[in-house]
Amino acid sequence: MVDTSTAKQLVQAIIDNLEQPVPGRRPVHTIGVGVKGEFVASDVACTYCIAEHFNGKPVRVSVRFSNGLGGVNQHDGWSDVRGMATRFHISGERGSDLIATTLGEFFVRNVDDFFEFSKIAKREKYERRPWWRKVWDLLQLKIPPRNPYPDETKNVDEGALRYANRHRFAQLGIFQVGLIGAPESYARASYHAVHTFWVTAPDGVRRPVRFSWQPVAGVRNTDPKAVPRDRYLFDELRDRLQRWPARFMLMMTIGEEGDALDDPTKPWPGTRIRVVMGTLTLLKVSEDQEADGERISFNPNRLAPGIEVSNDPILEARLGAYEVSREMRGGCPFKWR
């Protein structure tokens, strides 16, 4: 069990690596937008999971899309992990959350790894690599690192690479971060919940699963060679939803014995059974962004009956860390179920 003091240290480790503190805001995924929508489960979802939002009746949904970077400076066009936090408003005051990002796998296995990562992957000066060093890279058949974006003077790339070079479990996640790019729209990216959850079927069978959102509009990134634009994702989403709803399919992959159930750094093979659990329809950008974009607080451990957490130490740590962060920014209290 991750105690409160460790949860505070986790959040502090993130805050300590920010360009500048952002009191009253999320330390990472600071920039985000709240959206309203509806989820309808597929006709087979209820045979796999008894959770209320999979029973086939439409469920009201709140979604917060975000840029991964911490801080109030908005850089939509930078290569960055994006977030999609979803609240299924099930009956009464209860909710069930699903927090996903564009990163397929995480880069640390547990809290100790995270503390080591945060020590090594500090923000460091980031400058254009001199041309002669790029030539040396090319002679070694390496791809030179990208040029800095306008206004980008520091980042964690070098430190993260040093960490990955020492830890093979981290290499996939950090490699993916390096290639992740910037989406043309929040509605044109796939989002993965990275952790394993257990779902219970009506016949009592429990299955280990991983969830992903897949955009019906398809995945599309911006041109990485073009000058990145700092602000376009909110307006793009607002314009898109004024014209037509945006949809995502919720895909659930079922793990097998031997798959990594408690380690978010390890992917599951693409050969696992994959079930369409439902369709999310995003209807409009919320008018009250203070409530639906800022004060709303998600937690990956807030789950409807029928879905349970695995023993993934990172998932467990997020329970406390999200609460600490929520308290620090005065977000809506965590209502357990």
Partner 1 sequence: MPSDEGVLDRLVDWVHTTDVFKCVASWTLVPYWARRTPVKPLPGGPHPSFQHGDNVQCMMNLIMPLKVKSPIGRAEAALAIAKNKDAIYAGLNNVGTVHFARFVIVGDNICMFSVYDGDFTNYIRDFIATIGEVFNEVVKLVEGGKKVIPCEKNVEAFIQWVHEHDLYQVPDTATDFLRDQEDLKGDRAVSPVDDDLTLLPRKLVLQLRANANISLGSGYRAYPGFSVAQVRKHLKLGW
How far is residue 132's CA from residue 241's CA, in Å, rounded to a whole number? 48
Q: State the Cα angle at 279 between 195 and 99, rounded to 5°.
A: 25
Question: Following CA atoms 99, 190, 74, 123 in sequence, which dihedral angle do they give, to the nearest 10 degrees?
Answer: 80
Distances, alpha carbon 314 to alpha carbons 114, 195, 319, in Å: 9, 8, 9
Q: Is 227 in the site for partner 1 (CB under 8 A)?
A: yes
Site string for partner 1, 134-163 (x = CB under 8 A): xx-xxxxxxxx--xxxx----------x--
Q: Which residues pair with 213 in a beta bridge?
A: 191, 250
Q: Is 115 in the site for partner 1 (CB under 8 A)?
A: no
Hey, which residues between 70 and 89 contact partner 1 (CB under 8 A)? none
Q: Which is nearer to partner 1, 43 or 235 (CB)?
A: 43
Applying CB under 8 A, the span of 67-75, 82-90, 168-176, 208-216 interacting with partner 1 comes to 168-176
Determine the size of the site formed for partner 1 (CB under 8 A). Answer: 42
Q: Which is nearer to partner 1, 140 or 242 (CB)?
A: 140
The burial class, CB within 10 Å (0-12 / 13-18 / 19+), for 243 is exposed
Hey, which residues between 236 and 295 contact partner 1 (CB under 8 A)? 254, 256-259, 267, 269-274
> Which residues fall within 8 angstroms of residue 191, CB to CB, at 6 or more apart?
82, 83, 84, 100, 101, 102, 212, 213, 248
Q: Which is nearer to partner 1, 1 or 139 (CB)?
A: 139
Q: Which is nearer to partner 1, 4 or 165 (CB)?
A: 165
Hey, which residues between 192 and 211 contact partner 1 (CB under 8 A)? none
Question: Following CA atoms 259, 263, 267, 268 in sequence, which dihedral angle do they give, to the nearest 10 degrees?
Answer: 20
Q: Is 92 in the site for partner 1 (CB under 8 A)?
A: no
Q: Which is nearer to partner 1, 130 or 330 (CB)?
A: 130
- What is the nearest approach in angstroms of partner 1 to the Cβ of residue 130? 8
Q: Which is nearer to partner 1, 35 or 170 (CB)?
A: 170
Q: Which is nearer to partner 1, 178 or 245 (CB)?
A: 178
Q: Are strands 274-285 and 191-192 parallel, antiparallel or unpaired?
A: unpaired
How far is residue 164's CA from residue 161's CA, in Å, rounded to a whole number? 5
The binding site for partner 1 (CB under 8 A) comprises: 105, 128, 131-132, 134-135, 137-144, 147-150, 161, 164-169, 171-172, 174-175, 227, 254, 256-259, 267, 269-274
